[in-house]
Amino acid sequence: MTYGYTVADAAASDIFYEAVDFVKSALHFVPSDEPLTDVDGSIRQRFKRGTDEIIVESDVQVDYVGIRSNVSLPIRCLHKWTTE
């Protein structure tokens, strides 16, 4: 993924699901599968819109909630990064 957005600086399922709702309602992406929950409590869900793809994740190891994408997104967040 080329773009990353830190939504929260601590892993949290409630913020993860708020980000999922935002991706569906405001960005109009469709889930490509059900959320996956790891044994450590991390949660990840993929979304698609045409060839564009987004991953929303609450990662317990990194301790953040973030959005990664192959396209730039018009969102407000704590921190943005890119590999461009």
CA–CA gap between residue 24 and residue 55 (Å, rounded): 12
Q: Provide the residue ranges of all domains of the chain, joining segments of one domain with +.
A: 3-78
pTM of the model: 0.90
Q: Where are the alpha helices (DSSP H) in the chain?
A: 13-25
Average pLDDT score over the chain: 94
Our measurement of the distance from residue 15's CA atom to the centroid of its chain's CA atoms, rounded to an integer in Å, reads 10
Q: Each residue of 35-67: pLDDT tens digit?
A: 999 999 999 999 999 999 999 999 999 999 999
Paired tokens of 45: 């869900």
Nearest CA to 83 out of 29, 74, 71 is that of 71
